[in-house]
Amino acid sequence: MNNFGYSISPSSRIDLDKRDNDKFTRIVLLEPGFRKCMACGLCSSTCSGANFTDVSLRRAIEMIQDGQEKSAIVLLKGCMLCGKCNIICPRGINTRNLIRNILKVYMEELQ
Amino acid sequence: MNKEVLIIGGGPAGLECASTLLMFGYKVFIVEKGSELGGHLRKWDRLFPESISASETLERLLIPSKKAIVFDETEVSSVKLKDGFFDIILSDNTELHVHSVVVATGFKLFPAEKKEEYGYGVYNRVITNADLEASFKNNSRDILQSKRVGFVHCVGSRDEKISNRHCSKVCCVTAVKQACEFKEANPDAEIYCFYMDLRMFGRGYEDLYLKAQNKYGIRFIRGRVSEVAENVDGELVIKAEDTLISRPLKVTLDLLVLMSGMSKNPDNDQLADMLGLDIAEDGFFVQHDPTINSIKSKIKGIFFAGTVTGPKTIPETLNEARSAALAVHKYLSE
Amino acid sequence: MKERFLFGYDPFVLPFTLGMVFIILYLLVGTARIIISLTHEEQISLLKSLKPKQLFKTIKDVITDCLLHIKIFKRNPLLGYMHFSIAFGWFMLIVVGHIEVMLYTPQRNGILYYPVFFRYFVMETQQTLRGAFFFFLMDLFLLMVLSGIALAIFKRFRSRALGMRRTTKLKIGDTFALYSLWAIFPLRLLAESFTADISGGSFLTKSINHLVHGFVSNPDNALPIWWCYSIALGVFLFALPFSRYMHIPTEILLIFLRNAGIKATSFRNGYAEAEIYSCSRCGICIDACPMGVNLGDIKFSTVYTIRLLRKRENALEGAEKCLMCNKCVEVCPVGINSTQLKLLYRQSFNDTGDHDFSYLSPQNIKHNKEKILYYAGCMTHLAPAIYLSLFKILKKAGIEYNFMDADGSICCGRPLMLSGDFKGASQLIDKNKDIILNSGCTTLLLSCPICYKVFREEYNLQGIEVVHHSVYINDLLNSGKIKVDRVHESFVFHDPCELGRGSNIYNEPRELLSSIGTLKNSPEEKGESICCGGSLGSLTMQYERRKRITEHSLSMLYTNNPDTLVTACPLCLKTFSPVNSKRTVDIAQVVSEHLI
Amino acid sequence: MIINGKKKIWSDYQKEIPDDHYFYVRSCIRQNFFPASEKLFLEIVRDRLNLDFYETEHHTTCGGIAYHSDTIPQETVMTIVARQFALMSEAGYKNYVASCITSFGLYTEILDTWYHYPELEAKIKENLWKTTRREFNKPEYLAHASDVVYKLRDKIASQAKYKLVNKDTGKPLKVVEHIGCHYSKMFPSKGVGGAEYPYVLTGMIESWGGEIVDYPERRHCCGFGFRQYMIRANRGYSLSNTYKKFESMEPFHPDMIITNCPGCPYFLDRWQYVIKEMEGKTYGKEGQGIPVFTYEEVAGLVLGYDPWYLGLQMHQIDVEPLLDKIGIKYSKTDKYLL
């Protein structure tokens, strides 16, 4: 193909139709609280890892719901599973279980 | 000789105010523009937050107000204030001579076609909350079988461009209620709610929100819908942004419900001139003392009840109707 | 005594003998398999433990645990007697039986079945005092066993009377062994009574003989009963390896291994296999388990998880839901460290270490030797009152400290370890270890028992004293560095699982509280304290179920209605305080509020 | 699609358009991209429909591109526009028609700004006097050339030789209409049919027998975008927008595209070649691409002018397949001889 010194930039728009639904339902089965998240940001602000680097469960949950698993995993790789978010979540979501399962389910295909 | 009161508007506010005044022994006239009493309540199927039946609620309002004299399909043509009395001429030119007037003309549902970019009236699968309520009422399978459904909050509210800066207060909780009812009617529907702020302020509303998420798996996306278009197969393509991760997103839906807000009743302006009252910038009547006495108007003997002075839930409307009746009673017994 | 039959043999002994041969072979193979799967050092330490001094202690342990069941007696005397009577009674029946054979029919020594069916093969020629004495002994021990069996049957229907709210639901293998066990001794009684007039008996067998003399007098009626007796024994022996009673032989081996200092390194083989087979499924751990408060979770109590491990079925759901609070290990009469098995089981699934901790660059903190290094830990940052009170106490005692993780902590690694991800945890442990060792501190002070346990057990910080703040404050008080005034406020102390059962610290916090106010106790405390419900050990438990555990734990703590609930763990504090209508405080807060 | 829903919206945005006595101002770049368009517009209105359209050679650029590319301030561009209006008043005309959408948008914006800030208008009046010793007064009616053709669409249809209909199947051609953003997006009331569903081109297409295609990205930018395409580093960004539009219209298989702006036809036409070169992707049938026209060219075709006289050979995408579809006779050989 010809190169004219510029290229077509791919659309940054998320397409919700292309979300991997069976992985999403598996996560919901493993941690039913997942759907209760109201994105209040308490977990990501109390996060021990977030003191040092970019870890955010709130954004990761939102990304998973939008089918952006790869960027969600990057956000959770730094999690030390210390449980502070578990204590503080106002919706009573088992956040540790959620993080663990997101990493497990979405990392399967990477191995 | 019991004194006479005119109530303009036969919706829930008018009816409840009438029944309370009847209880006080006044002679009550109700002027209703439409052909039937009940106002918008007649069109709803179930009411938030517990999805109680709207028709039963209407019945409970109609019965006690049965003795009021009703002029349906009539409007007020002119009003003259003469030493404590109101000489009213109606459109069927009956003349009334009343001691007090209660304005309960309510609101108008925002005409969703004004938001052209949402394509109401242009795309067949775009309906409003009122249409959905009607679909629940007569169980129209065609609508309720839609697989992917979207609810668009703040249609015609909090929108400078259509001069409705106010928040209509009830559409968020209505959207969540309808979303849950839709999921019950069609369990394998995938439902999205596009919201900017989810204002679930009332008692029991947060539980409804939690049930919507937890039990029904309804997906709440924080971002107002910008455009709606039809793709080649006639499905709706929705464009919005997930502002929680600041990424634009699009989704293909089979049905889009626009949550039309409460905007002013267009007849208010004409009515205001007749009664000598003022209309605020948001199109609702100006209350004389909004904090202490929200049902009082600046003219003695004229009172307000219900959504004529701004968006309200039905419980709030009924409370205000009763307090308006009390104010009339207090005024007339001076 | 004289032999009634020439060859001393009758076909009815076959079921028993075959059963016996089968179980002996089975045990030999099993034991060999376990010992082979031990590591080399473990085998050497096992050999070393056979030296007389240690061997004597092991035998003493075997007697007290396997025969007398002392640990169960402590819990509930009736339950203890039930186990003791069956175990000890049966053991003595076998011993005395062998003595009788040696005395009266020496030529039959070594025949497997002879002592068991001695009464059938001999005839009492003349009554001697010695014979009567042995008959009396045999009947006495038989009666003892029968009393135990009666209690066992009664327990099966009304377990509450023996102090147990719930007992284990039995699988097929167990029911076979159970019913055959129940059948053995009544059948023995009948059999020996039938032949009592020929081969003699004592108060028990003789009196039954007279009772049913008419039926018994015709000799060929006795044989079928002896057949039943032998079959019952045979069924029991054949069913043994597939039932809970495999615990009888295996526990002996387990005690030998344990006294040799061997620990489980895999969740199924070696020492773990011995532990799994010596679980008698008595069900004591069901009542102990805090999860039992949610009826749906009873199926995840330790006894059922170990049964799944034994049958090599998937036990992950139970293993991951367990609070790892160690209460079942504390009450287990056999002393099985089931929490360790569950942790190793979790590790086999979750030990990916697939994390990106590259962002944890080693921060070297300026720290001089005299100061103590204080590590708050993640959870304490959510309860700042703890470290603020602690600093107030230290200032009062004139002790300088350095707050290692003031602006956010690198997690101590234990929560990751509890999830089974040892590789991930070790990455965190190395990072923290660098910081602590580089700081050159001599004392590492901790206010969270979860961190305390991992710093003490996994970090091996040579030369650094790792201490929990309850112990440290208590020392300050005893050494007079701080003084507190006495108030007539009443406290109850909740023993955090990781401090009490996890690190064996029970008394210091109590001493501390008694020196300030009056310490009230609660029905289940110290080693039996009920987990607060917030435990990081459980990976999958949902909040609603945790809350019921918290409420149950609180109701126990408040039985003697103390004024204030005191604990020494930030996680327990954060779990109790929203649910507890009364005040919940950390022990440091109590002390700092009453400093003078 | 509910057609009368759209008709209802169109009815809210009807504006009355005078059909005679216009002062015509050309675009600076439309002649290089589509040479015949402006000449054809004058020929149709003057010769075919003998209307009075005056044009003077003294008028200049409106300064729109410079203004939108931030190279000249607003007051300078206002002074240029004031001079244009001065030429109009001197020529004695009151109706002003611009051939270019950017100009139309600029004139509307300036008139609206002057409406809200009369003092600014006075300042510009003074500027114009100081620099050119001219005086101006604002046009009574400002139109775009497509408004005029829209108004005259039926007259043109009556004289039409061809229809936008596929001669084999008899079905109306599927036409994508693209409105220049500066036509009605900034001032919806100034565009026929409003901003969401502008009717100015749709009206022409329907009266000339075609059928419009309503694809999701119909209101998306065509990729011209002023300062995007000028700088090579941004040019990819401009291309990506056109790419998004074509990807969105592809499932509808449109036969042709009609626009009313200088930049849109040029980029929709040229970028198809670049997309084919860079991505190997084409959108028409059998790789022929979708031909792009200005409304004047289509009016010319419908009226029966010779395609090569209309300068259709300047297009990047060959128009022959479409001409065959409509059945317009043309000579293959002297495509480049005229």
> What residues have CB less than 8 Å from B315, skipping those under 6 apart?
none
- Same domain? For D210 and D312 the reply is yes
Q: Are B223 and B299 contained in the same domain?
A: no
**Angle A69-76/A57-65 helices, nearest 10 degrees?**
160
Cβ pair B110, B157 in contact under 8 A:
yes
Closest approach of B310 to chain D, Cα-based (Å): 28
- Residue C375 CA from chain centroid, whole number: 33
What is the C-alpha separation between D122 and D114, in angstroms, rounded? 9
Give CA C465 to chain center in angstroms.
Answer: 30
Q: At C533, is the secondary structure helix, strand, or coil?
A: coil
Residue C515 reports pLDDT greater than 90 = yes
Residues B126 and B254 in one domain: yes
Q: What is the spatial distance between Cα C367 and Cα C400, in angstroms, rounded to a whole number?
A: 11
Beta strands in C36-100 (DSSP E): none
Residue pair A67/A22 in contact (Cβ under 8 Å)? The answer is no
Q: How many domains does chain B have?
A: 2
- If asked whether residues B281 and B226 sit together in one domain, one would say no
B-chain CB neighbours of A15 within 8 Å are 249-251
pLDDT at residue D248 is higher than 90: yes
List chains adjacent to chain D, taking adjacency as at least 3 C-beta pairs closer than 8 Å. Answer: A, B
The pLDDT value recorded for residue C217 is 66
Query: Which residues from chain C sit within 8 angstroms of residue A48, using beta carbons?
Result: 378, 381, 408-411
> What phi and psi, each to the nearest 5 degrees, are found at residue C519?
-95, 120
Q: Which domain holds residue D132?
A: 16-145
Domain of A72 in residue numbering reads as 37-110
Contact with chain A for residue B251, Cβ under 8 A:
yes
User: Is D216 in contact with B237 (Cβ distance < 8 A)?
Assistant: yes
C385-411 pLDDT, tens digit per residue, is 999 999 999 999 999 999 998 888 899
Query: Does the pLDDT value for residue A110 go beyond 70?
Result: no
pLDDT at position D65 is 86
B122 lies in the same domain as B152: yes
B139 with B77, same domain: the answer is no
Q: Are A40 and A90 in contact (CB under 8 A)?
A: yes
Report D:239-278 residues touching B (Cβ under 8 A). 251-252
Domain boundary among B232, B261, B290: B261
| pLDDT for D338 | 59
Q: Exposed, middle or buried by CB within 10 Å (0-12, 13-18, 19+), for B106?
A: buried
Q: Choose the mutation target among B245, B246, B254 for the interface with A, i.e. most A CBs under 10 Å.
A: B245
Q: What residues of chain B lie within 8 A of the CB of A36, using their CB?
A: 210, 213-214
Predicted confidence (pLDDT) at residue C216 exceeds the cutoff of 70:
no
d(CA C143, CA C60): 26
The model carries a pTM of: 0.89
Output the average pLDDT for chain A: 91
Whether residue D173 sits in one domain with residue D314: yes
Strand-pair category, B85-90 with C122-123: unpaired
Collect all residues of chain B within an 8 Å Cβ-Cβ radius of residue D196.
116-117
Quick check: is D332 in a domain? no
Look up residue C457 and give its amino acid.
E
**End-to-end Cα distance, chain A:** 33
Q: Do B113 and D9 touch (CB under 8 A)?
A: yes
Query: H/E/C letters for each residue in chain D?
Result: CCHHHHHHHHHHCCCCCCCCCEEEECCCCHHHHCCHHHHHHHHHHHHHCCCCEECCCCCCCCCHHHHHCCCCCHHHHHHHHHHHHHHHHHHCCCEEEECCHHHHHHHHHHHHHHHHCHHHHHHHHHHHHHHHCCCCCCCCEEEEHHHHHHHCHHHHHHCCCCCCECCCCCCECEEEEECCHHHHCCCHHHCCCCCCCCCHHHHHHHHCCCEECCCCCCCCCCCCCCHHHHCHHHHHHHHHHHHHHHHHHHHHCCCEEEECCCHHHHHHHHHHHHHHHHHCCCCCHHHCCCCEEEHHHHHHHHHCCCCCCCCHHHCCCCCHHHHHHHCCCCCCHHHCCC
Sequence-distant (≥ 6) Cβ neighbours of residue C40 within 8 angstroms: none
Per-residue pLDDT tens over the stretch A49-97: 998 899 999 999 999 999 999 999 999 999 999 999 999 999 999 999 9
Query: Are B101 and B170 found together in one domain?
Result: no
What's the rounded Cα separation, in Å, for the pair D308 and D335? 6
Is B210 in Cβ contact with A62 (below 8 Å)? no
Chains B–D, number of C-beta pairs less than 8 Å apart: 43
For residues C49-64, give the mean pLDDT: 92
Among the candidates D145, D174, D206, a domain finishes at: D145
pLDDT computed for residue D168 by the predictor:
92
| Residue D185 sits in the same domain as residue D117 | no
Higher pLDDT, C368 or D112: D112
pLDDT of residue C192: 87
The answer to whether A8 contacts D232, with C-beta atoms less than 8 Å apart, is: no
Answer with the one of B239, B261, B283 that is the final residue of a domain: B261
Residue C411 to residue A77, Cβ atoms within 8 A: no
- Contact between A16 and B244 using a beta-carbon 8 Å cutoff: no
Nearest to A100 among C356, C379, C419 (CB): C419
B230 to chain D: closest CA residue: D216
Q: What pLDDT does residue A111 have?
A: 59
Number of domains in chain A: 1
Interatomic CA distance for residues A102 and A105, integer angstroms: 5
Q: Which residue bears the tokens 């839901």?
A: C321
Q: What pLDDT was estimated at residue C110?
A: 81
Place of tokens 């719901």: A65
The Cα of A25 is separated from the nearest Cα of chain B by a number of Å equal to 10
Same domain, B84 and B18: yes
Residue D87, pLDDT score: 95
To test the contact with chain B by mutation, choose from D185, D187, D196, D283 the residue with the greatest count of B C-beta atoms within 10 A, namely D196
Mean pLDDT value across chain B: 94
Determine whether the interchain pair B122/D195 forms a contact, defined as Cβ–Cβ distance below 8 Å.
Answer: no
Do D267 and D219 belong together in one domain? Answer: yes
Angle at CA C27, nearest 5°, toward C48 and C36?
45
Q: How far apart are CA B48 and CA B205, in angstroms?
A: 8
User: Which stretches of chain B drop beneath a pLDDT of 50?
Assistant: none
State the number of CA atoms in the 13 A half-sphere of C499 facing the CB: 32
Q: Residue C523, class by beta-carbon neighbours within 10 Å (0-12 exposed, 13-18 middle, 19+ buried)?
A: exposed
In a domain, A18, yes or no: no
Do D162 and D135 have their domain in common? no
Beta partners for residue D141, in sequence order: D95
With an 8 Å Cβ cutoff, are B122 and D6 in contact?
yes
3-class secondary-structure state, position B230: strand
> Which chain A residue has the Cα nearest residue C451?
A82
Total domain count, chain D = 2
Say if the Cβ atoms of D243 and A8 lie within 8 Å.
Answer: yes
- What is the structure's pLDDT at B49? 92
**Single-letter amino acid, residue A84:** K
Where residue D272 sits, what CATH number does that domain have? 3.40.50.11810
Query: Do D205 and D174 touch, CB atoms closer than 8 A?
Result: no
Cis peptide before B49, with omega less than 30 degrees from 0?
A: yes
What is this model's ipTM? 0.88
Summarize the confidence of residues C65-77 as an average pLDDT: 90
Q: Does B230 touch chain D (CB under 8 A)?
A: yes
C419–chain A Cβ distance below 8 A for any pair: yes
Q: pLDDT at position C503, please?
A: 94
Among chain A residues, the shortest Cα distance to D231 is held by A6
Q: Which tokens is C98 given?
A: 């062998």
The C-alpha of A4 sits at a distance from chain D's nearest C-alpha, in angstroms, of 8
A80·C571 Cβ contact <8 A: no
Q: Assess whether D171 and D320 both reside in one domain.
A: yes
Spatial CA neighbour of B219 closest among B198, B236, B200, B247: B198
Mean confidence (pLDDT) of chain D: 91
Give the span between the Cα atoms of C103 and C482, in whole angstroms. Answer: 74
CA C433, CA C451: separation in Å to the nearest integer?
13
D189 and D80 share one domain: no
Specify whether D23 is located in the same domain as D120.
yes
Residue A44 lies in a domain: yes
Q: A68 contacts in B (CB within 8 Å)? A: 245, 247
List the CATH number of the domain containing B119. Answer: 3.50.50.60
Q: Which domain holds residue B148?
A: 112-261
